[in-house]
Structure 1
Amino acid sequence: MGRAKNPVQAVGTTATIIKKLAELNGAGVTELSNHLNVTKGTVHNHLTTLEENELVVKDGDKFHLGLRFFEFGEQIKNKHKICEVGTPEVEKLAEKTGELGNILVEEHGRGIYLYRAKGENALSLDTGIGSRVYLHQTGLGKAILAHTPEKRVDEIIDEHSLKPSTKHTHSTRESLFEDLEQIRERGYALDMEERAEGIQCVAAPVITNDGTVRGAVSVAGPASRMRGDYLESKVSDMVMRAADVIGINLSYS
């Protein structure tokens, strides 16, 4: 991620307040001041300015993010062509497998879920559309990293580290890069309970004709169902075919 040569402190404070409001699902001036170690006067000034610009709403003593962010989110999602092109294919994956189909893209070294489709047996996970995850912890993220220039992968690791989520998460560069090489060779990535215990998935990168990785698609489900030949043969073939179709459609859209 690029660093501003002359960062504007007020903008940084506003961004921090917005992030904390999202994390706390709403908060008052005193609560935000305590969390952020910023004076109550400063917090109040930022919040009232955000309210005037319809970015937050006040409910009693608490402030919440406003629906303007929902509007922004829909506009941003619609700008990602992979979501429009990939939705039908991911819905087919969810229907055929009965599991959870996903589309994820990379931004600022993190993975962001753009779309999810639920099959009849799909699990309800702790991540949803808009959720951010560490790339090395997910099959989707690893599928993207496997086709990202090594220099950029190193930059992402330097910025975000290799934080473990479970005992199965890659925690060293050596193990991660070995896995990325295997992903390139076989065409798909596996998440073997690396982000969440009991959840496994298979993912494939979406690559356009110019060799650019535009994101990844996956199918995720409980380890009791997503295992063995079913995971690494049948589901992986379906996911790779879907990724190929999306990549071709993106190349000519």
Structure 2
Amino acid sequence: MGNNTTLPVQATQTSFEVIEALRQADGAGVRELAAHLSVPKSTVHDHLRTLTEMGYVVQIDGAYRPSLRFLEIGGETRKRMAIHRVAKPEIQELAIETGDHANLMVEEDGYGIFLSKSEGQRTVNLDTYAGMRVHLHTTALGKSMLAFMDEDRRSSILDRRGLPAVTEYTIDDEETLRAEFEEIRERGYAVDDEERVKGMRCVAAPVIGTDGTVLAAVSVSSPKSRMRGDRFEVEVPSEVQSTVNVIEVNIVHE
């Protein structure tokens, strides 16, 4: 009885491992997936057939890929989130005002998820997109949320997800990171100086609910050449915090 009850869980895990492998490989065939996952080709074939029939995987030019069904699911989930509905127009306005990338991030399962982004007239090409998942400590957005979180939640995330370095400037030492959290709480916003993307700087502030819970974070990202001096230390932080204030007021009445 005990063994039978574990089989559905194992099957589900394998299906998602197949989907994740397809995502990372940007499409693959049965043989490639079987080798990558170290499972029989027949097992991979069965999972792909089921996922294809359910519409979660498609086959194009002989290679299997995750379908846009995931975009549908994620888009519907995001649409139902009050923080997205309230923040979206403010993020768009912030991008127009600054001319740069404006972003909204939430924390989920110990990661930072880019929930929304908007581009101003002077933006550069970045790898970010709605739904992208990153380690919180690598971004100003994530650091601002971590700094204002409950200590138990913060410690749980740091222990569980670790502090992997993305660039040579990523803070991968917990003592140094915690010292920065104190600075963030004192000034009310966080900065990211090439810590996830070389050549880019970012300023972010958390969106705090009336009960003190961290709901999200808002940021502006810009090339380091344009984000310096008073713009980095005064102007952009002021614009970001002003946007956060509007979102915090509006979310109460959502």
**Which TM-score applies when normalising by structure 2?**
0.94
User: 1:114 aligns to what SS in structure 2?
Assistant: strand
> Residues of 2 paired with 1:191 and 1:46: CA distance?
41
| Aligned residue number for residue 203 of structure 1 | 204
Displacement of 1:61 in angstroms is 2.1
1:144-223 aligned within 5 A: 144-223=145-224
> Residues of 1 paired with 2:213 and 2:129: CA distance?
25
User: 2:211 aligns to what SS in structure 1?
Assistant: coil
> Residues of 2 paired with 1:58 and 1:126: CA distance?
26
Runs of 4+ in 1 over 4 A off after TM superposition: none
| Aligned residue number for residue 72 of structure 2 | 71
User: 1:146 aligns to what SS in structure 2?
Assistant: helix
| Aligned residue number for residue 117 of structure 1 | 118
* Count of matched residue positions in the alignment of Structure 1 and Structure 2: 249
Partner AA of 2:17 in structure 1: T
User: 2:168 aligns to what SS in structure 1?
Assistant: coil
Displacement of 1:36 in angstroms is 1.2
Superposition CA RMSD, Å: 1.4
Partner AA of 1:162 in structure 2: L
1:26-62 Cα offsets, whole Å, 9 max, x none, are 1111111111111111110001011111111122421
Partner AA of 1:229 in structure 2: D
**Which TM-score applies when normalising by structure 1?**
0.95
Displacement of 1:6 in angstroms is 9.7
1:163-192 Cα offsets, whole Å, 9 max, x none, are 111222111111111111111111100001
| Aligned residue number for residue 11 of structure 1 | 12
User: 2:248 aligns to what SS in structure 1?
Assistant: helix
When residues 147 and 7 of structure 1 are mapped into structure 2, their CA distance, relative to the original with a 3 A threshold, is farther
Partner AA of 1:76 in structure 2: T
Displacement of 1:93 in angstroms is 1.1
| Aligned residue number for residue 230 of structure 1 | 231
**Percent of aligned pairs with the same amino acid:** 45
Contact 1:209 1:248 in 2 (8 A): no
Partner AA of 2:36 in structure 1: H
Contact 1:148 1:213 in 2 (8 A): yes
In structure 2, list runs of 5 or more residues that go unmatched: 1-5
1:63-85 Cα offsets, whole Å, 9 max, x none, are 11112111101111112211111
In structure 1, list runs of 5 or more residues that go unmatched: none
Displacement of 1:7 in angstroms is 8.4
When residues 85 and 177 of structure 1 are mapped into structure 2, their CA distance, relative to the original with a 3 A threshold, is same
